[in-house]
Amino acid sequence: MRNTLLSLIFVTCLSNPFAEPEVVPPYMDCLIKANSLPFVSETAGYDIWYPPNVALKRNKGDCEEHAFLLYDYLDKKEIKSRVVFGYMEGNKQKGHAWVELVHEGTTYILDQSILKIYEKAKIVNDRNNLDYIEYDPSLGFQKDCKELIKRFKKGDNNAFINNYRKFSF
Protein backbone atom coordinates (compact mmCIF):
# COMPACT_ATOMS: atom_id res chain seq x y z
CA MET A 1 0.00 0.00 0.00
CA ARG A 2 2.72 2.52 1.00
CA ASN A 3 4.70 1.93 -2.24
CA THR A 4 1.54 2.37 -4.28
CA LEU A 5 0.73 5.57 -2.41
CA LEU A 6 4.24 6.93 -2.89
CA SER A 7 4.07 6.11 -6.61
CA LEU A 8 0.81 8.05 -6.86
CA ILE A 9 2.26 11.03 -5.02
CA PHE A 10 5.42 11.19 -7.09
CA VAL A 11 3.60 10.98 -10.45
CA THR A 12 3.46 14.75 -10.72
CA CYS A 13 7.07 15.49 -9.90
CA LEU A 14 9.08 12.70 -11.52
CA SER A 15 9.95 12.68 -15.18
CA ASN A 16 9.19 8.95 -15.26
CA PRO A 17 5.94 8.37 -13.34
CA PHE A 18 6.58 4.63 -13.12
CA ALA A 19 9.96 4.94 -11.41
CA GLU A 20 10.18 4.32 -7.70
CA PRO A 21 12.07 7.04 -5.83
CA GLU A 22 15.43 5.94 -4.48
CA VAL A 23 15.06 8.02 -1.34
CA VAL A 24 11.79 9.18 0.14
CA PRO A 25 11.97 12.93 0.91
CA PRO A 26 11.90 13.69 4.63
CA TYR A 27 8.59 15.52 4.30
CA MET A 28 6.66 12.64 2.72
CA ASP A 29 5.45 11.04 5.95
CA CYS A 30 4.19 14.46 7.11
CA LEU A 31 2.18 14.85 3.90
CA ILE A 32 0.62 11.40 4.24
CA LYS A 33 -0.15 11.98 7.93
CA ALA A 34 -1.80 15.37 7.26
CA ASN A 35 -3.87 13.85 4.47
CA SER A 36 -5.30 11.26 6.87
CA LEU A 37 -7.48 13.96 8.46
CA PRO A 38 -10.94 13.52 6.88
CA PHE A 39 -11.63 16.33 4.39
CA VAL A 40 -14.94 18.11 5.03
CA SER A 41 -15.76 21.36 3.23
CA GLU A 42 -17.33 24.20 5.15
CA THR A 43 -20.37 26.06 3.94
CA ALA A 44 -19.47 28.59 1.24
CA GLY A 45 -19.02 32.08 2.68
CA TYR A 46 -18.53 30.73 6.19
CA ASP A 47 -14.96 29.77 6.99
CA ILE A 48 -13.23 29.12 10.28
CA TRP A 49 -9.54 28.23 10.46
CA TYR A 50 -8.88 25.73 13.25
CA PRO A 51 -5.45 25.13 14.79
CA PRO A 52 -4.04 21.63 14.15
CA ASN A 53 -4.83 20.17 17.59
CA VAL A 54 -8.45 21.35 17.34
CA ALA A 55 -8.81 19.95 13.79
CA LEU A 56 -7.49 16.61 15.05
CA LYS A 57 -9.98 16.62 17.96
CA ARG A 58 -12.80 17.49 15.54
CA ASN A 59 -11.46 14.77 13.20
CA LYS A 60 -12.17 16.87 10.13
CA GLY A 61 -11.03 19.90 8.22
CA ASP A 62 -10.87 21.54 4.84
CA CYS A 63 -7.81 22.78 2.96
CA GLU A 64 -6.74 25.31 5.61
CA GLU A 65 -6.81 22.79 8.45
CA HIS A 66 -4.90 20.32 6.28
CA ALA A 67 -2.32 23.00 5.42
CA PHE A 68 -1.88 24.08 9.06
CA LEU A 69 -1.62 20.44 10.13
CA LEU A 70 1.03 19.70 7.50
CA TYR A 71 2.92 22.85 8.48
CA ASP A 72 2.81 21.74 12.13
CA TYR A 73 4.11 18.23 11.32
CA LEU A 74 6.93 19.70 9.22
CA ASP A 75 7.78 22.24 11.92
CA LYS A 76 8.10 19.46 14.51
CA LYS A 77 10.67 17.82 12.22
CA GLU A 78 12.41 21.20 11.85
CA ILE A 79 11.57 21.37 8.15
CA LYS A 80 10.97 24.99 7.12
CA SER A 81 7.80 25.55 5.15
CA ARG A 82 5.03 28.08 4.73
CA VAL A 83 1.27 27.91 4.37
CA VAL A 84 0.11 29.65 1.21
CA PHE A 85 -3.34 30.97 0.32
CA GLY A 86 -4.34 31.33 -3.29
CA TYR A 87 -6.82 30.17 -5.86
CA MET A 88 -7.55 27.36 -8.26
CA GLU A 89 -8.97 27.02 -11.78
CA GLY A 90 -8.18 30.67 -12.52
CA ASN A 91 -11.05 31.72 -10.27
CA LYS A 92 -10.02 34.14 -7.50
CA GLN A 93 -13.17 33.22 -5.57
CA LYS A 94 -12.20 29.53 -5.51
CA GLY A 95 -9.76 29.76 -2.63
CA HIS A 96 -7.35 27.06 -1.57
CA ALA A 97 -4.53 26.61 0.94
CA TRP A 98 -1.37 24.54 0.49
CA VAL A 99 2.16 24.29 1.82
CA GLU A 100 5.41 25.22 0.08
CA LEU A 101 8.90 24.17 1.04
CA VAL A 102 12.38 24.10 -0.45
CA HIS A 103 14.07 20.70 -0.67
CA GLU A 104 17.54 20.34 -2.18
CA GLY A 105 17.26 23.74 -3.86
CA THR A 106 13.84 23.15 -5.44
CA THR A 107 10.60 24.74 -4.22
CA TYR A 108 7.71 22.30 -3.99
CA ILE A 109 3.98 22.78 -3.64
CA LEU A 110 2.55 20.16 -1.29
CA ASP A 111 -1.18 19.86 -1.64
CA GLN A 112 -2.11 17.94 1.44
CA SER A 113 -5.80 17.88 0.54
CA ILE A 114 -5.27 15.73 -2.54
CA LEU A 115 -1.92 14.17 -1.64
CA LYS A 116 0.06 15.67 -4.52
CA ILE A 117 3.46 17.29 -4.91
CA TYR A 118 4.39 19.71 -7.68
CA GLU A 119 7.58 21.51 -8.53
CA LYS A 120 6.54 25.14 -8.14
CA ALA A 121 8.63 26.35 -11.11
CA LYS A 122 6.82 23.95 -13.45
CA ILE A 123 3.45 25.23 -12.27
CA VAL A 124 4.38 28.93 -12.34
CA ASN A 125 6.07 28.71 -15.75
CA ASP A 126 3.19 26.85 -17.39
CA ARG A 127 1.20 29.48 -19.32
CA ASN A 128 -1.87 27.22 -19.28
CA ASN A 129 -1.78 26.80 -15.51
CA LEU A 130 -4.80 28.08 -13.62
CA ASP A 131 -4.01 26.49 -10.24
CA TYR A 132 -1.90 27.34 -7.19
CA ILE A 133 -1.90 31.07 -7.87
CA GLU A 134 -1.01 32.92 -4.68
CA TYR A 135 -3.30 35.73 -3.55
CA ASP A 136 -1.94 39.26 -3.62
CA PRO A 137 -0.41 40.00 -0.19
CA SER A 138 -2.55 43.13 0.12
CA LEU A 139 -5.59 40.88 0.72
CA GLY A 140 -4.17 39.93 4.11
CA PHE A 141 -4.37 36.13 3.94
CA GLN A 142 -0.66 35.56 4.58
CA LYS A 143 -0.65 38.04 7.46
CA ASP A 144 -3.60 36.29 9.11
CA CYS A 145 -2.01 32.91 8.46
CA LYS A 146 1.23 33.94 10.19
CA GLU A 147 -0.76 35.30 13.13
CA LEU A 148 -2.68 32.04 13.54
CA ILE A 149 0.54 30.00 13.34
CA LYS A 150 2.09 32.17 16.08
CA ARG A 151 -1.00 31.64 18.22
CA PHE A 152 -1.14 27.88 17.86
CA LYS A 153 2.60 27.57 18.55
CA LYS A 154 1.90 29.33 21.87
CA GLY A 155 -0.85 26.82 22.65
CA ASP A 156 -3.78 29.09 21.77
CA ASN A 157 -6.59 26.78 20.61
CA ASN A 158 -8.97 29.50 19.50
CA ALA A 159 -10.13 29.33 15.92
CA PHE A 160 -9.72 32.19 13.47
CA ILE A 161 -12.85 33.37 11.70
CA ASN A 162 -12.14 34.17 8.08
CA ASN A 163 -13.86 37.45 7.24
CA TYR A 164 -13.05 37.24 3.53
CA ARG A 165 -16.68 36.63 2.59
CA LYS A 166 -16.12 37.03 -1.15
CA PHE A 167 -13.79 34.01 -1.13
CA SER A 168 -14.89 30.43 -0.73
CA PHE A 169 -12.48 27.76 0.48
> Cα separation of 77 and 115, whole Å?
19
Q: Which residues of 63-105 form beta strands (DSSP E)? A: 82-88, 91-103
Q: Which has the higher per-residue pLDDT, 78 or 141?
A: 78
Range picked from 34-43, 77-86, 157-166 for highest mean pLDDT? 77-86
Instruction: Give tens-digit pLDDT for 105-144.
Output: 999 999 998 899 999 999 989 989 889 999 888 888 888 8
Per-position DSSP letters for 94-143, written without gaps between them: EEEEEEEEEETTEEEEEETTTTEEEEHHHHHT-TT--SSEEPPGGGSHHH
The pTM is what?
0.82
Instruction: Give tens-digit pLDDT for 55-76.
Output: 999 999 999 999 999 999 999 9
Question: CATH class for domain 28-162?
Answer: alpha beta
Distance of CA 63 to the CA centre of its chain: 7
Is the pLDDT reported for residue 18 higher than 70? no
